[in-house]
C-alpha cells in the first residue's frame, strides 16, 4: 500500500498512522467511493455545491438566523485567513474545536480544512483534565472555542496552544478578526488520504483513543450510508440533537445534508418538547437523535408535531422494537436504526423503508460487509452470538496507539459489540462486549467514572456498571465503599454526583449510587465486572 504525496507541511498525523499491516482491509466496490488522488472534502461539500446550485441556496439555519452556502463559504475562507495569516497555521497542524452546535462552529470546521489543517473535534462539556489528555495525544497548535466555554479550556493550560474565542466581544474575538479579512482563500490541495479529522472515542480504560480519518473518508460515509439508506434530497431540512463533536452528529448535521445541497437546522440544546416544536415550526424533514428522544416525544403526546418528517434516524444505542412500533403507529414514519463507530466514522449497518425489521439493527450498508465472528475467529453460525466485524471504505486508524492491534484483526474492524446474524443477513444487537455504558446515546467508559469517584476523599473503592432504565435505556450505576463514619444517605449520594459532574463531563455522572460493604473481587484483587454487571441488572 502506498499513500499519495501529502500536502501537509506538518507530518504529525501521517507519521503516526499505524503500520500498513495493522490497517483493516478497505473496500472500494462502489463506484461512488472512488475519489481523485487530490481531494479536499471541505471544498467538495461547499464549492462543488455552489457550482451546482449557486451561492444563495439556504445552508445553515438557527431559530435566530439563516446562512446561505455563499455565507458559509465566505466565513470559512475568513477563518482560513485568520488561521494562516494571524496564527501561523501550516497544513497538517491540528486545530481543536470546542463549542455547541451553531453556524460559527461549522464555519471553523470548514475553515480548518480549507487551510489544510486537521480538525480535532471535541465535546463542549469536557472538563479541563479531559481536554489536557486530548491535547497531549493530538498536540493541537490552535484551539477555537465558543466564548462561553473558555473556562475549562483555559484551566487545561495546554502548553504552546493558541486559544481564540468566537461569538464574544472584543477585537481578539474570531468574529471580529474575520470581519477584517476579505474572505478570499484558495483551498490547500490536500491528498485524498491526508488526515482531515481526528475524532476521539473512549475506551474501557478511560484513556481516549484518537481515530484518524482521511478527506476521502468524510465523503465515503455520505456516499454509502447517507446516499443509500437516508436518500437525502436537495430540498431537505435536517436537524437533530447529537453534538458535532460526535461523528454521528458531524455526519448527520453537516456532511450528509451539505453533500446533496440540503440545509440543516442547528440547535445548541433541545429538550424533546423543544425538538418537536422545531420540527413543526421549521418544517424539518430529516431528524437525527437517540431512541431516548423518540420515546420521550411519544410519551409527551407530541407526535402530531412531526408531520413534516419523512426520515428519522436513530443511533448511539439499540432501538427497542416497542419504540419503533409506537413511533410508526403515531407518525407513519419508519425510524432508520443503525450502528456506527468513531473508528469507522459513521453508520455501517442499517436499513430503511420495507427493508426494516423492527428490533434488528439492519443489514450491512452498501459499500460495507459485516460478519459475526466466533471465539476462534471464524464465522459464527447464523443465530449464534459473536463479535461484530466489519469492512468497508472507512476503517480504524488509531493515532499512535497499541490498541490498533485489538480493534483490527485479520483485516476486520472488531467493534466490541456482540451480535447475532440471522439467515437473511440481518444483524441483531445483543450487548456491548466491554465496559462501555451507552446512555441516551452517550458513550461513557465505566472506569473513567470510577477514577473520578475515587478522587473523592470519602470513597474507599468503587465499581461502575450500566443499569437498565426505562427512559435512557441504560444509566451509570456506581457501587461505592465509603470511608468509615460517612453517612450512607441521599446527601452523600448528591455530594458524590456533584463531585463527578465537576470532574468529568456532566453526562457521565452516576445517576444511581448504591453503598456496599465490599466489591466483588478475585483472590488477587481484580474486580469481578461480570458480577458487578449482575448487581446493576437487578437494581430496582
Helix (H) or strand (E) run with residue 40 in it: none
How many CB atoms are located within 10 Å of the residue 185 CB? 22
Indicate the number of domains in the chain. Answer: 1
pLDDT value at residue 446: 81
In a domain, 112, yes or no: no
Each residue's pLDDT tens digit, 23-58: 999 999 999 999 999 999 999 999 999 999 999 999
pTM equals: 0.88
CA distance 254 to 108: 12
CA distance 247 to 373: 26
Contact indicator for 350, 343 with CB cutoff of 8 Å: no
- 242-245 long-range Cβ contacts below 8 angstroms, 24+ apart: 242/288, 242/289, 242/290, 242/316, 242/441, 243/100, 243/101, 243/123, 243/124, 244/101, 244/105, 244/106, 244/109, 244/121, 245/97, 245/121, 245/122, 245/123, 245/124
In a domain, 468, yes or no: yes
Domain that holds residue 448: 436-537
CATH number at residue 496: 3.30.300.30
Contact indicator for 226, 259 with CB cutoff of 8 Å: yes
DSSP symbol at 380? P
In a domain, 6, yes or no: no
Residues in the chain: 540
Contact indicator for 362, 350 with CB cutoff of 8 Å: yes
Answer yes or no: is pLDDT of 301 > 90. yes
Contact indicator for 143, 162 with CB cutoff of 8 Å: yes
In a domain, 510, yes or no: yes
In a domain, 147, yes or no: no
In a domain, 173, yes or no: no
Each residue's pLDDT tens digit, 99-131: 999 999 999 999 999 999 999 989 998 999 999
Contact indicator for 260, 69 with CB cutoff of 8 Å: no
In a domain, 487, yes or no: yes
Each residue's pLDDT tens digit, 180-225: 999 999 999 999 999 999 999 864 446 899 999 999 999 999 999 9
In a domain, 485, yes or no: yes
Each residue's pLDDT tens digit, 340-369: 999 999 999 999 999 999 989 999 999 999
Amino acid at each position: 500500500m502506498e499513500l499519495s504525496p501529502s500536502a501537509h507541511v506538518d507530518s504529525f498525523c501521517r507519521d503516526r498512522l499505524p503500520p500498513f499491516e495493522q490497517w483493516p482491509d478497505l473496500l472500494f466496490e462502489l463506484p461512488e467511493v472512488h475519489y481523485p488522488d487530490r481531494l479536499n472534502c471541505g471544498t467538495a461539500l461547499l464549492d462543488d455545491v455552489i457550482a451546482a446550485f449557486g451561492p444563495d441556496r439556504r445552508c445553515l439555519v438557527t431559530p435566530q438566523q439563516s446562512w446561505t452556502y455563499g455565507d458559509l463559504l465566505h466565513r470559512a475562507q475568513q477563518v482560513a485567513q485568520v488561521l494562516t495569516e494571524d496564527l501561523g497555521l501550516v497544513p497538517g497542524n491540528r486545530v481543536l474545536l470546542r463549542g455547541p452546535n451553531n453556524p460559527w462552529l461549522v464555519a471553523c470546521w470548514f475553515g480548518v480544512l480549507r487551510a489544510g489543517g486537521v480538525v480535532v473535534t471535541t465535546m463542549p462539556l469536557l472538563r479541563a483534565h479531559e481536554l489536557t489528555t486530548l491535547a497531549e495525544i493530538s498536540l493541537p497548535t490552535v484551539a477555537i472555542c465558543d466564548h462561553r466555554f473558555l473556562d475549562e479550556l483555559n484551566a487545561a493550560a495546554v502548553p504552546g496552544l493558541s486559544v481564540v474565542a468566537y461569538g464574544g466581544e472584543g477585537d481578539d474575538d474570531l468574529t471580529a478578526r474575520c470581519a477584517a479579512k476579505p474572505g478570499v482563500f484558495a483551498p490547500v490541495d490536500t491528498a485524498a488520504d491526508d488526515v482531515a479529522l481526528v475524532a476521539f472515542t473512549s475506551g474501557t480504560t478511560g484513556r481516549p483513543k484518537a481515530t484518524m480519518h482521511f478527506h476521502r473518508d468524510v465523503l465515503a460515509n455520505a456516499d454509502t450510508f447517507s446516499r443509500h439508506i437516508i436518500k437525502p434530497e436537495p430540498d431537505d431540512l435536517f436537524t437533530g440533537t447529537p453534538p458535532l463533536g460526535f461523528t454521528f452528529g458531524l455526519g448527520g448535521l453537516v456532511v450528509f445534508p451539505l453533500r446533496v445541497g440540503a440545509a440543516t437546522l442547528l440547535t445548541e440544546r433541545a429538550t424533546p418538547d423543544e425538538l418537536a416544536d422545531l420540527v413543526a415550526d421549521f418544517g424539518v424533514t430529516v431528524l437525527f437523535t437517540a431512541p431516548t428522544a423518540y420515546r420521550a416525544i411519544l410519551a409527551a403526546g407530541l407526535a402530531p408535531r412531526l408531520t413534516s418528517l419523512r426520515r428519522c434516524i436513530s443511533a448511539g444505542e439499540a432501538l427497542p422494537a416497542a419504540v419503533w412500533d409506537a413511533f410508526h403507529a403515531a407518525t407513519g414514519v419508519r425510524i432508520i436504526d443503525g450502528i456506527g463507530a468513531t473508528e469507522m466514522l459513521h453508520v455501517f449497518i442499517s436499513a430503511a423503508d420495507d427493508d426494516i425489521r423492527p428490533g434488528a439493527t439492519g443489514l450491512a450498508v452498501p459499500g460495507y460487509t459485516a460478519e459475526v465472528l466466533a471465539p476462534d475467529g471464524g464465522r459464527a453460525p447464523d443465530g449464534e452470538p459473536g463479535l461484530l466485524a466489519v469492512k468497508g471504505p472507512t476503517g480504524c486508524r488509531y493515532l499512535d496507539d497499541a490498541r490498533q492491534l485489538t480493534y483490527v484483526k485479520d483485516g476486520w474492524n472488531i467493534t466490541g459489540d456482540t451480535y447475532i446474524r440471522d439467515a437473511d443477513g440481518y444483524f441483531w444487537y445483543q450487548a456491548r462486549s466491554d465496559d462501555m455504558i451507552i446512555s441516551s446515546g452517550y458513550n461513557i467508559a465505566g472506569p473513567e467514572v470510577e477514577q473520578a469517584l475515587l478522587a473523592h476523599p470519602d470513597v474507599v473503592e468503587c465499581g461502575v456498571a450500566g443499569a437498565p432504565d426505562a427512559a435512557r435505556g441504560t444509566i451509570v450505576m456506581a457501587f461505592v465503599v465509603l470511608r468509615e463514619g460517612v453517612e450512607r444517605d441521599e446527601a452523600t449520594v448528591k455530594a458524590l454526583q456533584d463531585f463527578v459532574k465537576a470532574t468529568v463531563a456532566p453526562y457521565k455522572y452516576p445517576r444511581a449510587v448504591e453503598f456496599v460493604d465490599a466489591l466483588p473481587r478475585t483472590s488477587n484483587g481484580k474486580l469481578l465486572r461480570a458480577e458487578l454487571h449482575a448487581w446493576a441488572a437487578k437494581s430496582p
